[in-house]
Amino acid sequence: MSRWALIEPVISSWKADRPSPTRHQGRYEMREIVNAILYQGRTGCQWDYLPHDLPPKSAVCYYFAAWRDDGTDVKINDLLRWQVREKAGRPEDPSLVVIDTQSVHAAVNVPATTTGKDAAKKVPGRKRGLAVDVLGLVIAVTVLAASAHDNAFGIALLGQVAPIGTIKKALVDQGFKKTVVEHGARSASTSRSSNATPWTRAPASSRRPRGGSWSRRSASSCCSGGSCGTTRAGRSPRSPGCAGP
């Protein structure tokens, strides 16, 4: 089954729940809107420079912001992740996640108040933290200033993945200190039975998810607007104005 065939019912349902007062169906096909969002996410191009055979920035940004704000993007990401895991012979939801961070340079138009400098890697900009399964599929995302400690990411990401209910272990590296391990243990004790496997640090050889594509630098991976935040899955948050990367 194609990716569009999987997500089309979600998009169509969303559209049907928000009819135009004039009953106008809109100028652009929803599939083309999705294609434009995927193109920008893959290439990292500025919204103003979307190819002319795709819908314009105004239309694409409208749907992007709406789906981001109401959680539609999370539904789509979950649906696609479940499909990939099923094809790989795995349950829909994982029992283990891998958590890591990466600092990236921020664009010149990013407000200085939302950026910082990674003390260890000497990278000025922002830092993204992801929780992924063993296939490298994204479960949760957090974006903060690069000056933020890995502990802040670990606590935020553990909080996002805990409600899934099936996760018994999180693998992290030495950048995540005792605070994160203790937070994970508390989360495990409150959300699962007392015999759940604890959250642990992992050897360097085993903590990188297979495929590792999520950690490559991309201009679209660091939010470029006025604020950063977290999302259960899918893309890193952006400003409502869809500022360029």
Please state the domain extents for the chain.
3-19+26-74, 93-231
Q: Please give the Cα distance from 68 to 85 (Å, whole number).
A: 23
pLDDT value of residue 66: 95
Per-residue pLDDT of the chain (245 residues; tens, 9 = 90+): 688 998 999 999 999 888 877 666 778 999 999 999 999 999 989 999 999 999 999 999 999 999 999 999 999 999 999 999 999 999 999 999 999 998 988 888 888 888 888 878 888 899 999 999 999 999 999 999 998 888 889 889 988 888 888 988 888 888 787 778 777 777 664 444 333 444 555 554 444 444 443 344 443 433 344 444 555 554 444 433 444 43
Neighbours of 211 (CB within 10 A): 12
Which tokens belong to 37? 């969002």
What phi and psi, each to the nearest 5 degrees, are found at residue 212? 50, 15
pLDDT tens across 137-171, in order?
Answer: 999 999 999 988 888 898 899 888 888 889 888 88
Sequence-ordered list of residues with C-beta below 8 angstroms from that of 39, at least 6 positions apart, any chain? 45, 50, 51, 54
Largest CA distance in the chain: 59
Q: What are the residues whose beta carbons fall under 8 Å from the beta carbon of 178, sequence distance 6 or more?
A: none
The residues with which 103 forms a beta bridge, in sequence order, are 127
Distance CA 118, CA 104 (A): 9
The distance from CA 142 to its chain's CA centroid, rounded to whole angstroms, is: 7
**What token pair was written down for 52?**
């002319």
State the Cα–Cα distance between residues 7 and 4, nearest whole angstrom.
5
CATH (residue range 93-231)? 3.30.420
